[in-house]
Structure 1
């Protein structure tokens, strides 16, 4: 329900009277209105005695990268109308990295605007979104070919004249968080370098919520890394000396926001499933990095990226006790079922770091 103070209501009425200027007002949702209803004397504007309700049966939706997903949104009137009304709907999105910031409202961007059979989509959503419209009042948003950056809080806003109601639905991707540092070693990445490092590995900087979920699943890492909101944190499940102290409780250790240009740390990246497959190339001999890249190309693929290997391990159960080159020049291998001679007793992606390019290993390809 929209509320206006008495002075503002009087000003609106003045402009609509014959001696007023009679111009329309621009409302902050991008639509323009040319009339208002009668008030009740208390500054409250009624919508002809009818109440508009916008609802969603599901406020959190999980999906996989590359798939299609539906964000449910329905509207109705109380009491029920006998004839349909002309309504507008606007879907907007707040990126996952901005949900906890004080500037959240200002960072909302439009996804789609529709009225009747006309609609328009925006930005990276062009050609990928539509309204489901399975029944009267169904304004559910269908997103195709989900991308890593599609996560966030979506707002379904229905507008009927001056009546304006909305509901939010949060979209998350099923994926994996992994720590990452550059070939130069630990703590060489500023915020922007960390962003690019994750993108180069088919990933994005993890959000606080994603790191928290990874910690709840057992992620323990004693090196601080950038998150998408510009804070620097690290997850500890087994408190110990040098990682906050033995007497500290398990949890996320936070350095808070840091200077994005001058401060340097590692990165926590988030990767989700992809359409292709990651596999250890069957090859008669070990190869240096250049030979490994050529071998993957001859097999119709390319050297796998770190994010792709982590996603294949976490989401598809890739298990291989053979060290192999990855695209960033590191050597790693994924273990789902821990066993003797394959590293620690826990599942995970084992790393040999960044060996000299002339050294001989296997290779993980992506196709």
Structure 2
């Protein structure tokens, strides 16, 4: 068994020698350490691994047995990888290995395996990474009655973007917010992802859902409608809200994609339905909001033409600010949700 440390704090008191009512307190600490030291130790070389959607990643994890060689115990070793959820109370099974017996769970089927570079290597390789793979993973090694764990985070290169649907701001409960992000080729963002986006300059004055059920928004330029102009920059926190009754916007996260995002050159402007069909005729589909953000942020896509997107919005991405095209900042510019029957815009397509 592992070392057991008992820390006992004993407080006792007595009156002073002068008979006053004041009392003198003394603490006595007793340490008791189990004679058998730790046998099984699990370690990670780095606490965070960074990859991207469609890429591969190796989550490091190694173990050693202090009194017995690892080789002699390898047939008894059980290695288990789980993913920690945002509420930290639940774990999702990913991979279990014991000798020649291995089991892979859920969406990880066919995409994970142990690196196995040495007898004490429990590192997990994840291939064809998805947006949902983002998060914290626990490596647990068990040998007999002994076990130890370590945690590794898988971070993804990508971008956080705010989103609200066609019917207006503050109209999504938590579950609708999750679906809205999925519909735009994204996932609902975590606090860490929003915080990193804030540090990179994201400023947005409307509160949105995050993956842990909290509602927050990032402010880099304090002003009166956004918490007050005399407040400090930061991520404003509304706290945890009712996931069914609460109504807010949402912050989504997306990463690299395997495909081509482009503005369709077309002789005339299009209605929304005509835009959808024009992309289909070109062997593609109308692009999603997340795909535009990914192309803009990760590929430097730049186009000064407003175009329809799948959610019925019209936007355009500017990587090189210039007159009449987002003159002050690089950004994905939002035109709005026009009447879908108006032939006023082009269209952005995505070809997988």
Superposition TM-score tier, normalisation by shorter sequence: 0.7 to 0.9
1:54 is matched with 42
1:259 is matched with 242
TM-score norm. by structure 2 comes to 0.87
- Deviation of 1:188 (Å): 1.1
Classify 1:243/1:82 alpha carbon distance in 2 versus 1 (closer, same or farther; 3 Å): closer
Contact 1:304–1:364, Cα closer than 8 Å, also in 2:
yes
Q: Please, what is the CA RMSD of the aligned residues?
A: 1.9
Structure 2: tracts of 5 or more residues without a match: 7-31
Aligned mates of 1:224, 1:197 — CA distance in 2: 15
1:140 is matched with 123
Contact 1:2–1:162, Cα closer than 8 Å, also in 2:
no
- Deviation of 1:117 (Å): 2.1
Aligned mates of 2:5, 2:191 — CA distance in 1: 39
1:157 is matched with 140
Tell whether 2:245 aligns with 1:245: no
**Deviations for 1:235-294, whole angstroms, at most 9, x for unmatched residues?**
110111111111000001111111111121111111111111211111222211111111
Aligned mates of 1:5, 1:71 — CA distance in 2: 30
Aligned mates of 2:282, 2:306 — CA distance in 1: 19
2:165 is matched with 182
Contact 2:2–2:39, Cα closer than 8 Å, also in 1:
no
Aligned mates of 1:362, 1:326 — CA distance in 2: 10
Aligned mates of 1:64, 1:5 — CA distance in 2: 42
Aligned mates of 2:102, 2:161 — CA distance in 1: 39
Aligned mates of 1:83, 1:299 — CA distance in 2: 59
1:30 is matched with none
Classify 1:252/1:130 alpha carbon distance in 2 versus 1 (closer, same or farther; 3 Å): same
- Deviation of 1:344 (Å): 4.2
Aligned mates of 2:72, 2:285 — CA distance in 1: 55
| SS at 1:293 equivalent | helix
| SS at 1:295 equivalent | helix
Classify 1:82/1:156 alpha carbon distance in 2 versus 1 (closer, same or farther; 3 Å): closer
Pick the aligned partner of 2:109 from 99, 107, 126: 126
Contact 1:65–1:173, Cα closer than 8 Å, also in 2:
yes
Identify, as 1 or 2, the structure richer in strand: 2
Aligned mates of 2:82, 2:261 — CA distance in 1: 35
